[in-house]
Amino acid sequence: MTNYQKTALVTGMSRGIGKAICEKLVREGYFVYGTYNTGKQEAEKIKENLKSVEIFQVDFKNREQTLAILDKLKEFQFDAIINNAGMFEGENFKKFDFQIWYDTIEVNLNAPLLISIKLQNNINEYGSIVNVASSDGFQGSFASMSYSASKAALINLTKSLANNFGSKNIRVNAVAPGWINTGMATESSHEATKSTFM
């Protein structure tokens, strides 16, 4: 660890955007602590290939698991925290399953808030938090209301966190990618690319 000038936490690092972020940070000289849920083999392969990576399994739908992993992460200092882990599940409006809503909000909104609050004293001055939102956060949805609402709320939460972290010289920003080919992509999501903002 002492050979690395900077450290980062990347949630959801085993696939897609999280994997690309992890690889980019390592190339830039960071030591990366990454979390994964179901992508154990993928996470272990990234760790083996990149070397300067440590991985932790956590299901952010489970509040107890989230708090437990945050207790472990309090051992470290971070220059960057990237809240990338996300959940997307299609819905049936006429037979709406509120468990999808609860789980999506827990993963996409509550977890980034908990991470930011619980690790606020573990972020170095001039560090940064980046929340991975979505272009869906700017528009409504027919069959993924939970996802769209959670990302809209995450964009607003980012602004509030920036207000509170600013005095500590810590930046908080959100990025809002359109639909890209990640592990969460579905046939419906490919159709959504037609409405992606340019």
Q: Is 109 helix (H, G, I), strand (E, B) or coil?
A: helix
Kindly list the catalytic residues.
Answer: 147
